[in-house]
Every structure is written in structure tokens, then in C-alpha cells.
């Protein structure tokens, strides 16, 4: 092997990082998820009496694109919640039509009504009460009224346990009974759910997903949208309590060496960019099955309905011990993605006026722990 001076400096540098990382790993709790960022997962405080705030404390545990938590609520009218999209939390590059943002609203509404019912409150939800959705107009008005008794949806117990698993899955196939249970559990007017584990088809879907992720990472304006919401290390996670958290002794050590910064993560060929890509690709490589949720039509109400269905699917999967991770890249509506979006529609058999709302991998994985959530008061519209 021939080593140039530059290479040998790199190798020595990498050696120092690895050695230092070894030492850092021995430090218990170094760069761990800060407790404040996940306190929401304990549910509402027992002293909280307002049924709307109690239900909202669960609703904010819903999944959302990039964990942006783009929900804004107005509680100024008694017995009512007005839900808005937080206009400062959109994804204009990768979600130019705000389709995914509206799916995230559906996830929130589903958990809100489940939580209210579990505590004895009926919720009547009127979508788009002020007319077609814009960021200035509400997504929904939710009116609370007393039920004669609490009504507990069996999926409600999964709300604090639901996770999106972003890492590698275990190497075992999807159990047929689990696939069947997920398909049978979906009551989806206007929506359809498909799951495939046939190796040839899985391989073709995986190739499109990988190409979609690589295209997004190689398109600076779309990649930047992700990097802007990556929270690196426990201090940043605690300060933001949103976005995608990366943490732990290895990340801590790379930060000390300036190797894990937003600039580095934006630059192809750096350790930060390569490790991001390798992590994503390892996830796809480990997927034994893929699934998708499609809709007839694609109006705003349909997108909200897709969000309600998506979170119910994730909760049902959680109850079975099945992990799901969405892959949104090859579904996205920006021009550079057009060819892969068409390929994904063809491979999933989604045609005509049907829209692919969610595409995901399914498998088995250890619990990665809860993701960060902002405090309830930060969702209140003043």
C-alpha cells in the first residue's frame, strides 16, 4: 500500500478519532437524548384539567415530516380547538404542495380524537371551516363535548410506544401473519394499503427508493432542507426539541474534531455526508418488505385522511412489534424527482388519478427510543 502525506495525515486523524471515540463510548450518558426533549412522552401532567390540553399533550406525539411538528392550535374559544399549520414549518423544496405537511395534520387529528375519547370527550371535527386550506386558514375546528363514558381505542395504548425506526432492521422476513393483520386492520374509504415481500419486487422498489434518496442528497437545495433540521448533539436537541436528532459518543467525538457540522453534512465526500448516505442505504438494504398507502384523488381532505390512516397503521404495527419507516423521497413533487416518481408509481401500480401518499419499509428492530417534542405551550397560537 502506498500512502501519500495527505493520506497518512488523514489515516492518523481517523485513528485519533477512532481511539478517542473508544474512550468517549466509555463515558456513561455522553451526548444522550436530553430528558426535557422527551418529557412529552409521559403524557399530560396529572394536574392538567383542561380536556383539550390533555388531548393535545398526546396529539403532539404524532409523527410529522422531518419531525417538524407543524401544528399550531388556537384555544381561545371554550371547548374548541382550531388547528392551523405553522407556516414557519413547511418544506417548500421537498414538499412544494405541502401534501406531506397535511398528512402530518391528519396524524395529529387522529391521536387528538383518540386521546379525547379515552378521557371521556367526543370530538366533532370540521375540516377547513374557513374555506380551502391556506397557511392562514385552519385545517380543522374540533369541538369537545362530554361522552357518557370514556371510549378507549385499543390503538391508543400504543401512542407512547410508537416509533419511526430509521436505522437498520434485523435480518428476518416479515411474518406473513403480521402482514395480513396490518392489511386486515385498515378500514380505508378512498384509500388502499399494499404490502409486498416478494424478493424481486422488493429489490426493484428498494432500487427506486435508494435512487430517490441519493437524488435528494445530491440536489443541494433539497438536501439542505433536511440538514437545516438535523440537530447535532444533546445541546442542540434540547434547544430545538424538533427535527432529526443525531447524538451519542461517536457523534460527540466527531463534533470535537469538526467532522460533524451542517457544512460537512452538505458536502459530498466528507465523512458526515458519506455516513449519512451509508446509514440511509443500510436501512433500505435491511428491509424485508415494503408497503404503500394510495388514495383516489389528492385533495386536502384526502391528504388529512391519509395521515389519519398512516398513524393508525403505525400504531397497529407497534402493537404487533413491527417497525415502519416512511420513504418520501421518490414520492415528492419537485421537478428533478419526476422520473423516479413516475418509476415508483409504475412499480407500485398506482395509476390514473391515484396518488401515492405514503411509501414505507417494514421489518423488525429494537426500540430506538422516543424522538424529541416541543413543549405544549409552544404550539399555542396567540
Ligand X SMILES: Cc1cc2nc3c(=O)[nH]c(=O)nc-3n(C[C@H](O)[C@H](O)[C@H](O)COP(=O)(O)O)c2cc1C
Residue at shortest CB range from ligand X = 63
Single residue of 81, 107, 109, 362 touching ligand X by CB under 6 A: 107
Q: 17 or 209, CB closer to ligand X?
A: 209
Segment lying near ligand X (by CB under 6 A), choices 103-111, 168-176, 178-186, 190-198: 103-111
Three-point CA angle 20, 23, 24, nearest 5°: 85
Find the part of the chain contacting ligand X (CB under 6 A) among 32-40, 181-189, 197-205, 324-332: 324-332
Select the residue interacting with ligand X from 103, 140, 287, 289 (CB under 6 A): 103
Does 100 contact ligand X by CB under 6 A?
A: yes
Q: Shortest Cβ distance from residue 261 to ligand X (Å)?
A: 21
Binding piece for ligand X, criterion CB under 6 A, among 83-91, 97-105, 118-126, 217-225: 97-105
Site map (CB under 6 A) of ligand X, residues 169-208, x = contact: ----------------------------------------
Among 325, 337, 376, 379, binds ligand X (CB under 6 A): 325
129 vs 167, beta carbon nearer ligand X: 167
In whole angstroms, how close is the CB of 361 to ligand X at the nearest point? Answer: 9
Q: How far is CA 106 from CA 56, 111, 182, 246, 330, in A?
A: 14, 9, 19, 27, 21
Please tell me whether residue 63 binds ligand X under the rule CB under 6 A. yes
- Which three three-digit cell numbers place residue 202? 422488493
67 binds ligand X (CB under 6 A): yes
Query: Which CB atom, from 174 or from 304, has the smaller least distance to ligand X?
Result: 304
Q: Is 302 in the site for ligand X (CB under 6 A)?
A: no
Contact flag: residue 277 with ligand X (CB under 6 A): no
Calculate the alpha carbon distances from 59 to 56, 113, 154, 189, 376 in Å. Answer: 5, 8, 16, 23, 10
Q: Which of 59, 371, 376, 379 binds ligand X (CB under 6 A)?
A: 371
Q: Which stretch binds ligand X (CB under 6 A): 59-67, 140-148, 271-279, 340-348?
A: 59-67
Environment class of 159 (CB within 10 Å of its CB; exposed 0-12, middle 13-18, buried 19+): buried
In the numeric block, which cell numbers belong to residue 36?
426535557
Please report, as ranges, the residues that interact with ligand X according to CB under 6 A.
63-67, 100, 103-104, 107, 163-164, 166, 244, 325-328, 371
Amino acid at each position: 500500500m502506498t500512502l501519500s502525506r495527505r493520506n497518512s495525515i488523514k489515516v492518523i486523524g481517523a485513528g485519533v478519532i477512532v481511539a478517542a471515540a473508544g474512550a468517549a463510548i466509555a463515558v456513561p450518558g455522553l451526548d444522550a437524548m436530553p430528558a426535557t426533549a422527551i418529557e412529552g412522552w409521559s403524557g399530560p401532567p396529572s394536574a392538567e384539567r383542561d380536556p383539550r390540553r390533555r388531548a393535545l399533550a398526546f396529539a403532539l406525539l404524532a409523527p410529522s415530516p422531518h419531525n417538524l411538528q407543524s401544528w399550531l392550535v388556537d384555544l381561545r374559544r371554550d371547548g374548541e380547538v382550531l388547528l392551523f399549520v405553522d407556516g414557519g414549518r413547511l418544506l417548500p423544496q421537498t414538499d412544494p404542495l405541502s401534501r406531506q405537511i397535511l398528512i402530518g395534520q391528519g396524524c395529529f387529528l387522529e391521536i387528538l380524537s383518540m386521546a379525547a375519547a379515552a378521557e371521556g370527550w367526543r370530538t366533532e371535527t370540521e375540516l377547513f371551516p374557513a374555506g380551502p386550506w391556506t397557511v392562514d386558514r385552519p385545517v380543522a375546528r374540533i369541538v369537545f363535548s362530554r361522552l357518557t363514558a370514556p371510549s378507549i381505542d385499543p390503538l391508543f395504548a400504543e401512542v407512547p410506544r410508537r416509533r419511526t425506526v430509521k436505522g437498520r432492521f434485523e435480518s428476518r422476513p416479515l411474518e406473513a401473519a403480521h402482514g395480513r393483520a396490518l392489511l386486515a386492520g385498515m378500514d380505508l374509504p378512498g384509500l388502499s394499503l399494499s404490502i409486498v415481500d416478494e424478493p424481486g419486487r422488493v429489490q426493484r422498489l428498494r432500487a427506486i427508493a435508494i435512487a430517490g434518496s441519493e437524488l435528494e442528497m445530491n440536489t443541494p437545495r433539497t438536501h439542505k432542507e433536511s440538514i437545516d433540521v438535523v440537530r447535532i448533539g444533546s445541546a442542540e436537541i434540547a434547544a430545538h426539541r424538533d427535527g432529526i436528532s443525531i447524538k451519542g459518543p461517536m457523534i460527540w467525538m466527531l463534533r470535537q474534531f469538526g467532522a460533524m457540522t451542517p457544512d460537512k453534512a452538505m458536502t459530498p465526500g466528507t465523512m458526515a455526508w458519506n455516513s449519512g448516505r451509508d446509514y440511509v442505504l443500510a436501512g433500505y438494504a435491511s428491509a424485508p418488505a415494503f408497503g404503500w398507502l394510495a388514495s383516489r384523488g389528492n385533495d386536502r381532505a384526502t391528504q388529512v385522511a391519509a395521515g389519519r390512516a398512516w398513524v393508525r397503521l403505525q400504531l397497529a404495527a407497534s402493537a404487533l412489534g413491527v417497525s415502519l419507516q416512511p420513504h418520501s423521497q421518490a414520492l415528492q413533487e419537485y421537478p428533478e424527482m419526476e422520473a423516479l416518481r413516475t418509476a415508483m408509481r409504475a412499480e407500485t401500480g398506482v395509476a390514473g388519478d391515484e396518488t401515492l401518499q405514503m411509501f414505507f419499509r417494514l421489518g423488525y428492530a429494537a426500540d430506538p427510543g422516543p424522538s424529541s417534542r416541543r413543549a405544549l405551550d409552544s404550539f399555542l397560537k396567540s
